Structure 1
């Protein structure tokens, strides 16, 4: 499944999810053994962002986002923006997010989501950081906000849209995060069509672990994890008719460019 020369970068890991409680170190070690040398941990609130940042200090090749997910928007503390600003000064914190809009579950009221999202977009511009974007059933509103704020530096995390949505994000200048959704023969057909139009210099690979376990993996493990990223790569290689070494090199170069990573990473 994996080319021995490939060196992968997983640009989306929920390491402090409950499924990984107590085995975070093992998850990182298994990723290294599988050739997934670099991990970008996802911060969904201030507490998780701090946990991620502490983990990154002691684990080479690990970086993190810092931000507030739309599900958490209604629960922010009064000083959340100050706390987030402080996190963004730290060297392993490379993006603002996961931030955006989720009109599917509406765990936070939509006006609150939009306010918290707008604040993070402004902060990203202030600190010159890329945004790490979440969107579900809110594409038109999110695109309008990104356009209004003139955001052209970031990634559409866990992109599951169609060719038209892909084109709109690419036109803004965004990178596109592809997960195991691409491996789903039931739900992933629109994405499988769209991937053909995604340039190699704009693609990032993510497991979104422990979620979105690729359906191409048999027998199915209990949960998804970074060590399984090459399975996502294999499906993209099949659809784009390229080899895994080419894909892995492109995705790592894209991550380095987007997140301003220099020097040896892992």
Structure 2
């Protein structure tokens, strides 16, 4: 398994990140992509990953929540961080659920990163929450071709539309929630084998199917196996099949070494 989205730069991991990584290895996670969400955290993600290239990769980008906060020259900063060896540009996109930044600034920052990804020939790690199809339309008009829609939580029509333009779909512990994730669980079999990816979005979205119930609310990459379990059941496929196809997809999408598939940390 490969966890394609984990926020390991989050302050909740500062005290025990080594233990978190060890538990991920023990839990069958072959590789982790550390998510960058603004200039500072993208730098931190790069530093972390470049010190553990055997097990970690990273993305560099600005999340829509931070679109109002970018400094002059921010896109050059992201480009510089990405040039050190980023696996993708992002996390970037639109979030009209929280609206922590103005929609105009979100669109501007997203468009700039789509153009950067195209110029650097890097895939894009996309965030779309309640954008009412705007992310989809921006992607349709972008020169960027390699896109993963991270933490997909939309409906069947949106899922089909993303698949139609060739997007990969990232599935998190959201699918394990018997209430919020019910619709996703019911449509997840519409994702083609070659477009399915798994992620935890740690420290968020603790899978609800963990038994016994965890004593902490902090999610971590070692819990990816519970996402795999729910995805396999919802698609009526074996966990080993889900493991095989999602690992191959992540290696292809992020252009990781083939040796990652057998990596044991």
8 A Cα contact 1:16 1:24, kept in partner: no
Q: Deviations over 1:54-104 (max 9, x none)?
A: 11122222101100000011111112111111112122x110000000111
Give me the whole-angstrom Cα distance separating, in 2, the residues matched to 1:100 and 1:75: 15
Distance 1:144 1:55 in 2: 34
Displacement of 1:13 in angstroms is 0.3
Report matched runs for 1:19-34 at 5 Å: 19-34=12-27
* Matching of residues 87-106 of structure 1 within 5 Å: 87-91=81-85, 93-106=86-99
Deviation, 1:51, is: 1.0
Q: Which residue of 2 aligns with 1:147?
A: 140
Counterpart CA distance in 1 for 2:40 and 2:123 is 20
Partner of 1:41: 34
Tell me how far apart the structure 2 counterparts of residues 236 and 66 of structure 1 sit (CA, whole Å).
28
In structure 1, the partner of 2:156 is 163
Contact kept, 8 Å, 1:163 with 1:193, in 2: the verdict is no
In the alignment, the residues of structure 1 paired with residue 129 and residue 155 of structure 2 have an alpha-carbon distance, to the nearest angstrom, of: 13
- The counterpart of 1:227, out of the listed 208, 222, 227, is 222
Q: Supply the distance in 2 between the matched residues of 1:163 and 1:202 (Cα, whole angstroms).
A: 15
Could you tell me how far 1:150 is from its partner in structure 2? 4.0
228, 231, 245: which one aligns with 1:250: 245
Q: Calculate the TM-score normalised by the size of structure 1.
A: 0.94
Judge conservation of contact 2:207–2:227 (CA < 8 Å) in 1. yes
Q: Which runs of 5+ in 2 are unaligned?
A: none
Counterpart of 1:237?
A: 232
Q: Using the alignment, how far apart are the partners of 2:60 and 2:132 within structure 1?
A: 22
* Cα pair 2:115 2:144 within 8 Å, conserved: no
Instruction: Give 3-state SS (helix, strand or coil) of 2:91's partner.
Output: strand
Q: CA RMSD in A?
A: 1.1
In structure 1, distance between residues paired with 2:132 and 2:243: 29
Asked if structure 2 preserves the Cα contact closer than 8 Å seen for 1:9 and 1:205, the reply is yes
Q: Tell me the distance in 2 between the aligned counterparts of 1:246 and 1:204.
A: 12
* Equivalent-residue separation in structure 1 for 2:258 and 2:158 (angstroms): 34
Q: Distance in 2 between matches of 1:86 and 1:72?
A: 19
**Secondary structure, counterpart of 2:88 in structure 1:** strand
